[in-house]
Amino acid sequence: MSQSGGELKNLWQILKPHRPSKMQFTVLSVLVVVTTVLELLIPWFSKNLVDSISVDGVAMSVLMTLLSIVLISAVFEGILTWYGAKTGERICTSLRYSLIGKLLFSKVEAASDKHSAEYATRVVNDTLEVKTVLATDFISLFAGAVSLVAVVAMMFYLDWRLTLVLLACVLVGFLIILPLSLMMSGIGKAIQAAQAKLLSTLTEWMRHHTLIKSHNAQSPLHQESKALLETCMEHEVRGAKIMAMISPTINLVLMMSMVAILGFSSYWMQQGSMTLGTVTAFLMYLFGLTFPLVALGAFFSNLFKAAGTATRLQDIEQLAQEQLQQGESVVNASEIQIQALNFERDEKVILNNVSYQFDGPGLSIVTGESGSGKSTLMSQLLGFYDDTKSAIFIDGKRLDDVDLYSLRQAIAWVDQEPKLLNTSIKENLLLGLSEQPSDDAIEQALEQVGLSQWYEKIGKDLEQAVSERAQIFSGGEKQRFAIARALLRNAKVLLMDEPTSALDKHNSTEMMTLIRAIAKERRVIMISHNSAFLQQDDDHVHIAEGEIVKSAA
């Protein structure tokens, strides 16, 4: 119970910043009350209609009044359903927007412990559970609660003794349903975790589709997917089992109430303290309680199910965030100084007492064996790790005091395998730019990196889509494309990770010619395993086991 209470508290904390405004809540409340009152008036006017039947026929005024109430009630019910769903969708959209922001602005290390698809599942699927509670179940609960209070009040007015009998039956049913609803918390969490695992695995397989085919791994992976699907089904069936117990319990409470009312009323009728009309009215109102009780059961079961996902959503809310656009701006990044930098993770030393300085335009080639710390050293310069910022100085400013947004405008990163988003060529080139360059400037950047022929080949269509598996780039073209993206940022420093690793000798030579041309105007720091690229004027940094063992300028 305490765990479920904690999860409900987590759910409230997550939803608190996104709750509806007072005006929205007032409108919702008015719609609920009006709709419920109209629905309660229908049986009353039906009674009047029956009582008005005579030899002359039906009283038309009563009939028209009843039809009007039925019609107005239907209209208000439709408006309530639409407005409630709209309010729930707005809360869900606001929550998702907040979660996406937390993911995008989180620190690199904070969000690296889980598969990216798992976070995506949490943002999309876990919030659906929350939306169901807000957009559907909460409205039903609110309307049901108003209806319940009104019906019980009318019952109490008719006969307080039978009302107490009925409430005792409802209390027993509530005590039975509550523990069943609490069980939905753990089941909801397990369902979302299983679905996240399935989605992350499937995403991984589709990303490496050709690898799987080339190794004839389709059949074993297909079998593996069966186990994942069965795990999902197992948790879903557990949830269905709980719901299958809740629904009959509600019916049992109603039947128990009916038997109790008939039993007690028979005794009191025999004594002459109760009339048959009172008993008939009570039985009619008993059926009027069906909807509120069903709504109550559905709300609590789905509420605890959503509360089970709250912990997973709170993990995202609590991700450590980067503080961008705070501190001194970086304009040129003409001087980068590293002083006694140490970096370790999981008790393993990756960089040890590294000191170096990069000044002005030129080419710096960082060499070393795999795992020596080359890529790790480069990533330090972009401020990804808090514990090393004090050892890095940009234009004499300590990285702790530097605005990370301006730093990453001044320093561009070109991956060994450049990443492209599933969007247009133009949007990939202009990624993160606040000011949009003209198409002529884009064409000039592509020409500068030697992609003129490629640009002609795609028909100069910058709106052409780039997909994960589309083959519109060769390895060398993708590298050049990433360099063009860096040039459009007007970056003063280019960090390049193995730009020639996937190229043949001819294309590698052309790539190095391009890099040396760029290095005449800006600093290029390039990781390479191939020492054959080194020339006498190059700045050479050699790293072994996390230490700079040789450097030559």
Task: Please check whether residues 362 and 287 belong to one and the same domain.
Answer: no
- pLDDT, position 50: 65
Do 302 and 356 share a structural domain?
no
Checking if the pLDDT of 136 tops 60, the result is yes
Q: Write the pLDDT tens digit of every residue in 393-446.
A: 999 899 988 988 888 888 888 888 888 887 888 988 888 888 888 888 999 999
Domain co-membership, 292 together with 341 = no
Burial class (CB in 10 A: 0-12, 13-18, 19+), 381: buried
Amino acid at 509: T
What percentage of the chain's residues is helix, strand, coil (to nearest 5)? Answer: 65, 10, 20
For residue 337, what pLDDT is reported? 92
CA nearest 123: which of 97, 105, 143?
A: 97
Alpha-carbon span 545 to 535, nearest angstrom: 24
Which of the pair, 304 or 228, is modelled with greater confidence? Answer: 228
- Say if residue 230's pLDDT is above 70: yes
Other beta carbons within 10 angstroms of residue 325's beta carbon come to 9
* Helix segments in 415-533, DSSP class H: 425-429, 439-448, 452-457, 475-488, 505-518
What CATH number is given to the structural domain containing 57?
A: 1.20.1560.10
Range of the domain at 266: 2-317
| Residues 351 and 261 occupy one common structural domain | no
Whether residue 160 has pLDDT greater than 50: yes
Q: Give the residue, 79 or 170, on which the prediction is more confident.
A: 79
> At 470, is the pLDDT very low, low, confident or very high (cuts 50, 70, 90)?
low
Beta strands 493-497 and 523-527 are: parallel
Q: What is the mean pLDDT of the chain?
A: 81
Alpha helix locations (H) across 59-126?
Answer: 60-104, 116-121
Same domain, 178 and 269: yes
Q: Which of 317, 346, 364 is the last residue of a domain?
A: 317
| Residue 329 maps to a domain | no
Give the Cα separation of 183 and 356 in Å (integer): 59
What are φ and ψ of residue 352, in 5° steps? -130, 110
Q: Mean per-residue pLDDT for 97-121?
A: 80
Burial class of residue 314 in the structure, from the number of CB atoms within 10 Å of its CB (0-12 exposed, 13-18 middle, 19+ buried): middle
User: Which of 419, 483, 424, 413 lies closest to 448 in space, CA to CA?
Assistant: 483
In a domain, 330, yes or no: no
**Does residue 292 sit in the same domain as residue 362?**
no
Task: Identify residue 268 by its one-letter amino acid code.
Answer: W
457/383 same-domain check: yes
Domain presence at residue 35: yes
309 and 343 assigned to the same domain: no
pLDDT confidence band for 553 (50 / 70 / 90): very low
Q: Are residues 64 and 38 in the same domain?
A: yes
Contact in structure between 312 and 189 (CB atoms under 8 Å)? yes
Map residue 366 onto helix, strand or coil: strand
Separation of first and last alpha carbons in the chain: 67
Residue-level pLDDT at 393: 92
Mind listing the pLDDT tens digit for each residue in 301-318? 777 777 777 777 888 888
For 278-300, the pLDDT digits (tens) are 666 677 677 767 777 677 767 77
Look at residue 552 and tell me whether its pLDDT is greater than 60.
no
Q: Binning pLDDT at 50, 70 and 90, where does residue 36 land?
A: confident
Q: What percent of the chain has pLDDT over 70?
A: 90
Task: Find the mean pLDDT for residues 86-92.
Answer: 84
Answer yes or no: is pLDDT of 55 > 60. Answer: no
Please determine, for residue 498, whether its predicted confidence score (pLDDT) is greater than 90. Answer: no
Number of compact structural domains in the chain = 2
Indicate whether 259 belongs to any domain. yes
Least confident of 134-143, 264-273, 329-338, 390-399: 134-143
Half-sphere exposure of 460 (CA within 13 A, CB side): 8
Collect contacts of 507-513 with beta carbons under 8 A, ≥24 apart: 507/475, 507/476, 508/533, 510/450, 510/476, 511/476, 511/479, 511/480
Is residue 323, in this structure, part of any structural domain at all?
Answer: no
Q: Tokens 């420093």, residue?
A: 493
* Cα-based angle 146, 150, 154 (whole degrees, multiple of 5): 170
Pairing of strands 539-544, 362-368: parallel
Choosing from 251, 286, 317, the residue where a domain stops is 317
Instruction: Mark residue 21 as left, alpha or beta (left: phi above 0; alpha: psi -120 to 50; beta: remaining).
Output: beta
Banded model confidence at residue 150, pLDDT cuts 50, 70, 90: confident
Position 42 scores a pLDDT of 76
Answer whether residue 58 is part of any domain: yes
Residues 157 and 207 in one domain: yes
Cβ-defined contacts of 51-57 (< 8 Å, 24+):
none
Please name which of 289, 356, 332, 288 lies closest in space to residue 541, comparing C-alpha atoms.
356
230 and 276 part of one domain: yes
On whether residue 328 sits in a domain, the answer given is: no
Domain end among 290, 317, 344 = 317
More confident residue, 404 or 11: 404
Are residues 73 and 9 both part of a single domain? yes
| CB-CB contact of 314 with 192 (8 Å) | no
CB 476 within 8 Å of CB 504 = no
Kindly state the tokens that stand for 160: 């307080």
Q: Which residue has the higher pLDDT, 203 or 396?
A: 396
**Which residue, among 178, 414, 392, has the nearest Cα to 296 in the 3D structure?**
178
> What are the C-alpha distances in Å from 494 to residues 261, 391, 479, 485, 551?
83, 20, 13, 11, 19
Nearest to 336 by CA among 356, 351, 362, 316: 356
> Is residue 543 helix, strand or coil?
strand
Q: Which is more confident, 177 or 314?
A: 314
Does residue 495 form part of some domain? Answer: yes
